[in-house]
Each structure stands twice: as structure tokens, then as C-alpha cells.
Amino acid sequence: MNRRTFLVTSVIATAARTINARAASPSALAPASELLREIIRANDAQIPALLARQERRAGHRWIGGLTNNYGLYTVQDTSGFISALSCAACAPDSKYFNSAELVEPLRRAFAYLLVAQHADGTVDYYATNFHSNPDTAFVIEVVSPAYVLLRASKNPALAAAAIDLGTFIKRGGDGLSTGGLHTPNHRWVVCAALSWTHSFFPDARYVARIDQWLAETIDLDPDGQYTEKSTAGYSPIVDRALITVARLLNRPALLEPVRRNLEMTLYYVQPDGEVVTEASRRQDRATRSNMARYYLSYRTLALHDGNGRFAAMARQIERTARTQIGELAAFLTEPALLCDLPADAPLPTDYAKHFAYSNLARIRRGARSGTILANNTTLFSFRHGAAALEAVRFASSFFGKGQFNAELLEVRDGRYVLRQKLEGPYFQPLTAAQIATGDHTKMAPNGTLANDSRAARARSEVQTQEAVVTVTETGGKFSLEISVGGTDHVPVSIELAFRAGGKLTGVEPIADATDAFLLKSGTGRYTVGDDTIEFGPGRVEHTYTQVRGALPKWDGLSVYLTGLTPFKTTLTIG
């Protein structure tokens, strides 16, 4: 199980007074809303399969654990199991409420966690990290709400079984009080896990370590984006971690970066409810994801602040990603989250926003939206409803390094300009003085002598290339003026990468290539259901579409336009 998908950060009601005075205790659970009932039913439905996956063979080293897709017993899969069973056992509307059937599986799972936990309190994440403090923190975030529920259970067997889970959390917290980490988001996840641990087992060391990490300040830029810019992965994780620390340690100031990030994210939402991921610096870049991971943060801040826009986004997520809202632990441990949301305020659907620190611009006109990016090989993407042009990219064969990737996005008078300048030198022989050093010749990573270990070689016959893309928009239709100059007769290939599953017309398939097409002239169309994207005019001067140095073809339907430098064309997309 991927740690980002299994993470379910929750809150306990006793600490919720710092954010929402209407919070109730778990034992005074309010009547379930329809959403809560749906989540309970979905959780109940997975219990039989989870029980079947648990290792139950006596004497097995990993008895009580669950395996991932590769047959490895993991604390990540097992902690998800613990969360699901604990919620089922403690939700009054669950058919497993107070069920004796779940007691022994939970006991086995808690025992497995203690066996899998190292002496230093850490656990492993087999995909990459070992004796990992941050992955221990992710697990503590998942199992802490379960610990809250089980300790408050009227079933003595469930409450007694939770003792081992508390031991696991305490040992993990001890490790986190001194252990290191890897990435920016890990700091705040560790702080959240330590806040949970401190709420159960008060210890000044935990708070001191939290303050040590917080002293670095939250890594939020003026746009409202975190360092990793991971809109589908780590940004929502950071939001929830900071909310947890704010609640459990009574640090309301930590809600401010969450507000700013949630406000910015409103402008990253596509017409169909997906979130823009093209600018991410992590593994979620250019992945397809909806807004479900943000749901609890929007709901929490909507209730706390009386924010109508956040309430509207929470309701939109309920409509567009309802089956992926897995917030059962949070709703059970803090029933106040089920209070009626404030009245909706309009969400932004007609705007042009430049996020300078992210080198990104977002333009949306109702059902149409475009994203313009620098520091990215995707220079433009576009949506019309469900129809997705996932990337516009282009490359030239200029010395094998002509994949366009602009350093900056310049914005002036409604024009969005991207530039790239390249040089292609040749290298002269070393001088006698350079040879006398006795150092041997070394190649650069690209196979040239540009990075010779001796003093720099003299360059000659330097070739140049400058590419400029200027984007303008009118009424939801975009014009992309693409100009490539400098050295003449360099092949250029433009790729329009559409999401698989739609229908293309007006284009011709490329022989001996899969899902690759040429737009030789006129206008092409890409259609999904009732939504269509038109693009053109076409231009094909050669069929060298996968030029040397270009990224591999996009995973989808790729339409190509080609030419030679000096090259200039204006694409209309809308």
C-alpha cells in the first residue's frame, strides 16, 4: 500500500475545542449523516476481505500482519487494517459495532506492529526507507484515531486490546523525539505524530522536538504553495498535519498556512473536479487526481472560519469524489465535523491567475481551463469539461538537448511568454600546458568533452538556438505562438498529448507507431462525451516526430506537428 493513499489523519474531540467549540465526545456521537452512513457501509464492505488477508498461522514470524501486492508483510497495510476494523467496531451504525469477531484480529495486528517495530521505535517502508522516522510518523497518524476510539469503547475487550497499540505509539514517539527525516513535508508529519503521542502520553520531549522543527517555519511561498508543490500528494498531507498540531497543541497560528494553501488550491481545480498536478516537484507530477485528499481540511476550516468558499469546495468534493472520501476515523473521533457547513460562496470559475513562485499561470473560463508552465517540459495543458489535453511539448534535434523547458514565465499585458536559449559548441584540442598536467580525458554525462576534468577546452563553431512561446487567451480559447530560430534546418517536433480514451478526428495515424498521429493541415478534434477540444492548423514538413533528445512519447494519444528552423507557427486550442 502506498503511504500517501493509506494515510488518514484524524482528530480527537477532546482537543477539538481549540478549533471548534461545538465538538462532542466520541461517546456522544450525533446521529450519522448520509455521508457518514455511506462511508460506514463502504468500510463494512471491506472487512471480510481484510480479515481474509491477515496472517493467522500460529508460530509465523509475522502473525497478525497483512501483505502488500508483492507479498511483503508491511506496517502500512496492517495499520490500514487496524483503522478499518477499529472504526467498524466503534461506529454505532456499523454491523460490526462492538463485535467480538474483531477483537482477536485487532489483538494480532497490534502484536504484529510491536514485532515489526525496531528497538529504536521506527518501522520500515519497504519501497525505500528503513528504520524510518517519517514512515513511523505516517503510521502513527493512521492508528492514533483508532487508539482514541478503542480506549473509549464500552466493550472492555476492545479497550484492553488497545494497550499494545498504545505501546507501539509510545515507542514510536520516543524515536521521533530524536530521529531525522528526508523531505520538507516529513517535518510536519513528524510534528503531527508527536502531537498525537503527547496527547496520549504527555512528555516535554515531544513538544520540544515539535518546536525544534517548527522553528524552521512553514515552507509556504507567497503564492500559498508548499516547497514540494505536490498538489495530489503532499500538500494535502501537510495541511492535515498542521491542522492536527494546531488542535492537539492549541497552536491556532498554524492554521494560517493551511488557509493560504487551501485558498490557492481553489485556482488549481479543473472543471471536472481534478487538481492540477503539472507543477509538482514530486512523484505526483502530471498524474491524474481529484480533490478528495483535501476534503477534511476544507470542511474543517469551513466550519472553523465560517468560510463559504471552503464550504462550497467541500460540497463540490462530495459531488465529484464522494466514493473516495474515506474520513470515517475523523468523523467518529470528532462528530462536530458533521455539523452543517456554512452557506456556499461562489467558487472561482472565471479568472486569470499568475503564480509567480510556482512559474505557473492558470486561466479558467467556466468549462474551459488552461495551465501555462515554466521550469517544465509541459509548457501548456488544457481542459474542456471531461476532454483533456494533458500536455503540449516540443523539441528540436539541436545537439540532442532541444527539449523545450523555459526557465521563467514572463507575464505582461495578457501575454504569457516562455523562452529557452541553447548553445551547441564544438571543442578544440587541449593545449600543451593542459596535457602536461597528466590528467586523463573524461566525458560529460552527455558523452561530450564539455566537462573535461582538465581546464576548459576552447570552444569553436558554436551553434545557437532560441525558442519563444507566447500564449494569449480570449474567451477560453488559447493561441500558442511558437518560434524557433538560430541555426537553420534543425528539425522541430510539436506534441499535443491527449488523454487516452477520447476520439480524435482530422488527424492521420503514423505508420508503425501506436496512438501517434499527424495533423497535416486544417483543424483536429478530440472528443470525450459531449466535450470537444479543437486544435490547429496542422503542419507537417517531415515525419521525424521523436527527435533525438526529446522525451518519450506521452502515455496517451499524441498528435504531432513538424517543421524545420527557422520555424514559426501559431496553434489555436479551444
In 77-174, beta strands by DSSP E: 123-125, 129-132
The answer to whether 502 and 527 are in contact (CB under 8 A) is yes
Is the CB of residue 317 less than 8 Å from the CB of residue 294?
yes
**260: buried, middle or exposed (CB in 10 Å: 19+, 13-18, 0-12)?**
middle
Task: Report residue 237 CA to chain centroid gap.
Answer: 9
- Can you tell me which residue has the cell 500517501? 4
Enter the DSSP assignment of 385: T
Q: Count CB atoms within 10 A of the CB of residue 477.
A: 16
Tens of pLDDT, residue by residue over 227-273, are 999 999 999 999 999 999 999 999 999 999 999 999 999 999 999 99
Q: Which domains does the chain have, with CATH numbers?
A: 3-338 (1.50.10.100), 350-573 (2.70.98)
The reported pLDDT for the residue numbered 30 is 37
pLDDT (0 to 100) of residue 446:
74
> Is residue 278 a contact partner of residue 373, using CB atoms and an 8 Å limit?
yes
Global confidence as pTM:
0.93
List phi, psi (to 5°) of 48. Answer: -55, -45
User: Residue 353: what pLDDT?
Assistant: 98
DSSP E strand boundaries for 366-414 = 368-373, 380-384, 387-396, 402-403, 409-412
Q: What does the pLDDT look like over 414-456, one tens digit per residue?
A: 999 999 999 999 999 988 887 887 666 777 777 777 766 655 7
- Cα–Cα distance, 380 to 373 (Å, whole number): 6
Query: In angstroms, rounded to a whole number, what is the distance separating the alpha carbons of residues 232 and 224?
Result: 15
Nearest CA to 370 out of 379, 383, 356 is that of 383
DSSP codes, 453-521? SSSPPPEEEEEEEEEEEEEEEETTEEEEEEEEEESSS-EEEEEEEEPTTSEEES-EEPTT-SSEEE--S
CB count, 10 Å around CB of 205? 15
What was the pLDDT predicted at 148?
Answer: 99
How confident is the model over 195-207, as pLDDT tens digits?
A: 999 999 999 999 9
Give the cell for residue 412.
505582461
Q: What is the three-class DSSP state of 68?
A: coil
Residue type, 267: Y
Residue 74 gets which letter from DSSP? E
**236 vs 280: CA distance, rounded Å:** 13
